[in-house]
């Protein structure tokens, strides 16, 4: 008989690739590569003296500092006293003429419009006052 074999035919086992030893080998090669590349570079550093933060000491309020606050309604406050936006320019020129070192802190309340703050900064610039600060924290309206 053609094609017959005296031995019983066994089903061939399919070739399998075992994945766990392959993962082990890949991790070994990765670790070797990382350690080898780290040993090639000599890490050179420069010693740096970083500043140390110190808590601010409570200082007495500066009598020459003027707080100019704008509110959401378009009104302004001069050291907590309400004034019109039109009164800012005359007060700033008077303040500059009687103070040797004029300084202005521009602040706003929670809902103050950006335009009002810019208008206040423009008036400070027009008055010729060069030491100007802008407060980044929010104050309640009319407080300083």
Which residue in 80, 82, 86 sits closest to 66, CA to CA? 80
DSSP structural state of residue 135 = -
Domain boundaries, given as residue ranges, for the chain: 65-134
pLDDT attached to residue 15: 78
In 3D space, the residue among 140, 139, 124, 126 whose CA is nearest the CA of residue 66 turns out to be: 124
- The per-residue pLDDT string of the chain (144 residues; one tens digit each, 9 = 90 and over) reads 555 656 666 667 777 778 888 899 999 999 999 888 877 777 678 888 888 888 777 766 677 788 888 887 778 888 888 888 888 889 999 989 988 888 998 888 777 777 888 888 888 889 898 888 888 776 666 655
pTM of the model: 0.54
Q: Domain 65-134 is of which CATH architecture?
A: 2-Layer Sandwich (3.30)
pLDDT the model gives residue 47:
86
DSSP, res 130: -
């Amino acid at each position: 008989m053609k094609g017959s074999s005296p031995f019983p035919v066994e089903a061939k086992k399919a070739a399998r690739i075992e994945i766990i030893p392959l993962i082990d080998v890949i991790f070994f090669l990765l670790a070797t590569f990382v350690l080898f590349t780290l040993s090639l570079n000599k890490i050179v550093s420069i010693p740096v003296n970083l500043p140390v933060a110190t808590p601010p000491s409570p200082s007495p309020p500066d009598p020459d500092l003027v707080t100019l606050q704008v509110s959401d309604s378009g009104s302004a406050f001069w050291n907590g006293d309400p004034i019109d936006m039109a009164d800012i320019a005359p007060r700033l020129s008077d303040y500059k003429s009687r103070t040797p070192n004029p300084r202005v802190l521009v602040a706003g309340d929670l809902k103050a419009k950006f335009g009002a703050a810019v208008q206040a900064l423009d008036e400070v610039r027009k008055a010729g006052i060069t030491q100007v600060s802008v407060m980044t924290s929010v104050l309640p309206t009319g407080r300083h």
